[in-house]
Amino acid sequence: MKVIDIKGEIVDNDTAAMYNFFDMQNTNPKALQDSLNEADGDDVTLNISSLGGDVFTASEIYTMLNQYSGKVTGVIQGIAASAASFIPMVCDKIVMSPTALMMIHRSWTVAEGNTNDLNHRSQVSAKVDESIAAAYQNKTGKSQDEILQMMDEETWMTAEDAVKQGFADEVMEVQRVPQISDSLSTLPSKNGINKFKHMLKSTDDNIHSALFMQKLDILKGTN
């Protein structure tokens, strides 16, 4: 059985190249296709924990999984939100951790231009919402109106909620008693972590530059 992570932001292949350069976790079509090729028809388990990302990329990934010949099980470990929430809808079985969450909402975009441009963008967004709703409809059996209403309200679901509503098949059994921490420490913010990564990258570049100059001096006989 092949285990594939659907984690980090969902991005297209070009954007993934940048994310990978900075060692930032992401899910992209190329990496998924490579993993599916390695699985070669064997059963696949998707470990999912993502806040979403690009809706068209998520649609591409949804289709790739739909075309895969083997059985696909989706395991929502932390959160399946936004574009990451409809990817598992194509799975043969969806299991959610008892602490996991799922969130569905209307698509979001940035638009500019005149009234015609904005009206056109609104119509496109409505069609995108309908295409996303189709994935939820196929899984849950709910009508388009019901799904769009849930998306209007930005619906958050616990594992039990998702099972009751038909978005998931079962809640994962708890196999061990969780440890409880009494720590009052605060985790660093995402913004702080990104700044730290940038600092490391800059430091690494400076080190490489210094080593290069040192080697150059040696070759010139000045050191």
* Whole-number Å distance between alpha carbons of 58 and 135: 11
User: 3-state DSSP call for residue 133?
Assistant: helix
Dig out the tokens for 32 from the structure: 């998924």
Residues of the chain scoring pLDDT < 70: 177-187, 192, 195-223
Number of helices (H), then strands (E), in the chain: 8, 9
> How high is the pLDDT of residue 131?
96
Interatomic CA distance for residues 158 and 15, integer angstroms: 31
pTM assigned to the model: 0.78
Evaluate the CA torsion angle 93, 144, 157, 191 in order and state its sign: positive
**Can you tell me the distance from the alpha carbon of 110 to that of 87, in angstroms, rounded to the nearest whole number?**
23
Q: Which pLDDT belongs to residue 212?
A: 47
Write out pLDDT tens, residues 124-178: 999 999 999 999 999 999 999 999 999 999 999 999 999 999 999 999 998 776 6
Kindly give the pairing relationship between strand 101-104 and strand 93-96. unpaired
Confidence (pLDDT) at 202: 60
* Whole-number Å distance between alpha carbons of 39 and 70: 9
State the pLDDT at residue 196.
Answer: 63
